[in-house]
Structure 1
Amino acid sequence: MARGIDRSSPLPFYYQLKQLVLTDLRDRQLAAGDRLPGDHELCATYDVSRTVVRQALAELETEGVIQRVKGRGTFVAPERTSEHLVQSLTGLYEDVAARGDQLRSVVRRLEVAPADEQIAGLLELPVGARTIVLERLRLVDDEPWVLATTYLPYDVAPGLLDDDLTQHSLYALLEQKYGVELTHGRRRVEAEVASDTLAGLLGISPGAAVLVLRSTSYAGERPVEVFVAYHRGDRSRFEVTLKRTPPAESRPPLMHVTGQASV
């Protein structure tokens, strides 16, 4: 960090400091996990207040550039991986494999259970109908990444209880072994904070941000899979490709009404 704060610049000190840190990361080619100067060192180096330092680092942390660990210091944050699970009917296995990373699963639960009211409604089954429940802790390159629970009608894949789901894609099994042709789905993403139990499984701090992906997949008109997946907020981001549709030429013009309405 050879440059300093330009005190004659109209740019706020915190913004200048933020740019200096970014330049330092680039010039020194720092990698994820490398330690950065602490608050006191930055204050002394650039002769700025701790408020300035905190604001600059807070923005960098929000943007996913750095990671501040209480009692340990400030580090370069691991790069968040873009996932396209909200814009195409793929599974995490396929998405991770396409990036060249390795995914394995720890199967925490695989059993037949009666559908409660919520799951029965989503799968369009009677309440109490037999479903296969699959809970997996998904690890990318051996780091906990996602905790996912999947529900399927039992008749869709009755042999699934005997399949190896630690290394294989569920979607590939459904399509290749059970002849289930997935055609479309509906997914939504929500933000939550990690409970103590979830944080322990994902290796994050209680209260840390998680991205929750909820999905229903269909084979034709029949819903055949429902899942809820908790993704680490510090490792994942979802990207969606948008396309603007030109306004329809046949759309009627806006009407301007004057006068007083009577009732």
Structure 2
Amino acid sequence: MNAITTTAEATGGIDRDSTAPMYDQLRQLILDGIVRDGLQPGDALPGEHRLCEQYGISRTVVRQALAQLEHEGAVERIKGKGTFVARPRTSESLVHTLVGLFDEVERRGGHVHSEVLRHELIEADAEVAAALEVDEGAPVVVLTRLRYVDGEAWSLSTTWMPREIGEPTLGADLRDSSLYALLADHGVVATHGVRSAEATVATHEQAAQLGLSAGSALLRLRSVSRDESGQPIEFFVAYHRGDRSRFEFRLSTDNSQGSLVHVP
């Protein structure tokens, strides 16, 4: 007997005389069932058709409940496979600090491993040149990494650095070490910058690399970091899995440190 059935029997199922919406009642029944039976991340939950039959409710109600649970991060729905107890999302502070993923995860006791997909000297295109404040076609070092957190694909990032800053990293083993730490060893330290975050969806290539379905939610970080003199030292674009990351912001009444940008 599954967790949802057990919970329904214990509670009497959906109360049609209640002022609470049926989808919210079902949402709570599913949560209670997960806790009651000690279900773990990755455990399967009943499908939509079974929930409809079990509670005598419409598929619309079931889908509303599951959508809310997915939005809350309690379940994850995989097309063609079903609904599962979600893995907990990890809080990250990468948006409002200058730390990198390696240092952020290490600080909370986790481990980051990187698969280096590209690390070479190239000519800057227009976007990279503008971000690094160099001439278009100027030599820059590009570093693309598929990042794993505790063995699970987590993000796909590409970093560009001016030649004089990035050249010492060429040949370095960055699979299990911090790029920022390596730069610091060469006297390059970021002191300020601008970092933005926006929602996007995975392309077929990104989905294959991150173990997702094409069109899955991603969070794109875009950052330019500068040293004490104001010189840009790196520009990066990183795509984080939306089902594994939750970014947290520290807020205060002083709003001078942030801005809302409208993108037409």
Query: In the alignment, does 2:193 pair up with 1:185?
Result: yes
> Which deviates more from structure 2 when the two are superposed, residues 38-47 or residues 197-206?
38-47
| Match of residue 200 from structure 1 | 208
Aligned residue identity for 1:186: V
Shift in Å, 1:88: 0.9
Aligned-partner Cα distance in 2 for 1:79–1:9: 31
Give the conservation status (yes or no) of the 8 Å contact 2:140–2:166. no
Shift in Å, 1:200: 0.5
SS in structure 1 of the partner of residue 17 of structure 2: coil
Long gaps (5+) in structure 1: 247-263
Query: In the alignment, does 2:121 pair up with 1:105?
Result: no
| Match of residue 21 from structure 1 | 30
Specify which structure has the higher proportion of helix.
2
Aligned-partner Cα distance in 1 for 2:218–2:115: 19
Percentage identity across aligned positions? 52
Q: Deviations over 1:178-234 (max 9, x none)?
A: 111211111000111111111101110001111000000011211100000011111
Q: TM-score normalized by structure 1?
A: 0.90
Aligned-partner Cα distance in 1 for 2:254–2:149: 37
Q: TM-score normalized by structure 2?
A: 0.89
Aligned residue identity for 1:54: R
58, 83, 93: which is aligned to 1:74? 83
SS in structure 1 of the partner of residue 109 of structure 2: coil
Give the conservation status (yes or no) of the 8 Å contact 2:180–2:189. no
Shift in Å, 1:87: 1.1
Aligned-partner Cα distance in 1 for 2:166–2:81: 48
| Match of residue 255 from structure 1 | none
Shift in Å, 1:43: 2.1
Give the conservation status (yes or no) of the 8 Å contact 2:122–2:140. yes
Q: Deviations over 1:112-142 (max 9, x none)?
A: 0111121111111112111100000001122
Aligned residue identity for 1:212: R
| Match of residue 48 from structure 2 | 39
166, 172, 176: which is aligned to 1:167? 176
Aligned residue identity for 2:212: I
Matches for 1:145-160 after TM superposition, within 5 Å: 145-160=154-169
| Match of residue 64 from structure 1 | 73
Aligned residue identity for 1:192: T
| Match of residue 138 from structure 1 | 147
Give the paired residue count.
245
| Match of residue 216 from structure 1 | 224
Aligned-partner Cα distance in 2 for 1:173–1:108: 18
Indicate the structure (1 or 2) with the bigger Cα radius of gyration. 1
Aligned-partner Cα distance in 2 for 1:117–1:73: 44
Aligned-partner Cα distance in 1 for 2:80–2:135: 52
Shift in Å, 1:31: 1.4
Q: CA RMSD in A?
A: 1.3
Aligned-partner Cα distance in 2 for 1:245–1:69: 41
Long gaps (5+) in structure 2: 1-6, 256-264
Aligned-partner Cα distance in 1 for 2:254–2:211: 42
51, 62, 68: which is aligned to 2:60? 51
